[in-house]
Amino acid sequence: MNPLVGDFARPAAPAPVIVALDFADAAQTLAFVRGLDPAQCQLKIGKELFTATGRALAEQLMAQGFKLFLDLKYHDIPNTVAQACKVAAQMGVWLLDVHAGGGRRMMEAAAEAVAGFAERPKLLGVTVLTSMEAADLRELGWADEPQTLVRRWAALAQDSGLDGVVCSAQEAQMLRQDAGADFLLVTPGIRLADGAGGDDQRRVMTPEQAVAAGADYLVMGRPITRAADPAAVLRQVNAAVRA
């Protein structure tokens, strides 16, 4: 794989896969994570699991050596989002996200809230969800194509002081050219070439395609969590994207 995307050198990503822990409770999660190596992946906790377990499970996973992406997609008035981000930073999470659709003042407040931490989380703006297509946007009143809206919101996120965005891998090459090498691109909607893990995602790519397009980190849930041998799938994906 060519380490250059356009004119920019890509930053190294020693463990590109973020495993989405889409489980219902702590027991299932801990049983699954026992088979994973922190050197091979990061972990993501989303709304379902965090609502079920609170911060206790998140802190337990971080104590085991895993970097944690707290994927709660904050979207509220600036002060509320800023205070939530501050609490997440105090927990010691690695990645944290807010909805770019919340606007400049909300994103600037979030960035300011975590700026004073010695080891602050990287802050991401969520652009257009990978489950959404142009028809979904039109129903919400957006005339723009997904790519156009993603581009606009990513530029606003960068200008507001965020470290990167969550986007479809289909937009990664465009955003890498726009934003440069240091802007993080975290891409859900990653599916294996054999089609394993098919679900409600629409704008998808394989791991190799996503990294070649400029993605830094690949969020993968069901293709790994439902695999017969999750650790083997991780090794396979890591080897493929580093080849």
* Residue-wise pLDDT tens digits, 187-228: 998 988 765 545 555 557 899 999 999 999 999 999 999 999
pLDDT for the residue 12: 45
The CATH number of residue 214's host domain is 3.20.20.70
Mean pLDDT rounded to a whole number for the chain: 89
Q: Is 238 annotated as a binding residue?
A: no
The distance from CA 147 to its chain's CA centroid, rounded to whole angstroms, is: 18
Q: Compare 2 and 133 and report the one with higher pLDDT.
A: 133
Say if residue 71 carries a ligand binding annotation: yes
pLDDT per position as a tens digit, 149-199: 999 999 999 999 999 999 989 899 999 999 999 999 999 989 887 655 455
| pLDDT at residue 6 greater than cutoff 50 | no
Q: Is 224 annotated as a binding residue?
A: no
Q: Is residue 75 part of an annotated ligand binding site?
A: yes
Q: Tell me the catalytic residues.
A: 71, 73, 76
Task: Determine whether the annotation assigns residue 182 to a binding site.
Answer: no
pTM: 0.88
Count the domains in the chain: 1
Torsion of CA 73, 77, 83, 88, to 10 degrees: 0
pLDDT in tens, 87-114: 999 999 999 999 999 999 999 999 999 9
Residue 101 assigned as binding residue: no
The residue whose two tokens read 């794989």 is 1
Query: Cβ distance 187 to 124 under 8 Å?
Result: no
Buried b (16+ CB within 10 A) or exposed e, 40-79: bbbbbbbeebbeebeeebbeebbeeebbbbbbbbbbeebe
State yes or no: 201 annotated in a binding site: yes
Task: Flag whether 2 is marked binding.
Answer: no
Backbone angles phi, psi at 182, to 5 degrees: -90, -5
> What is the extent of the structural domain holding 187?
4-242
99 marked as binding residue:
no
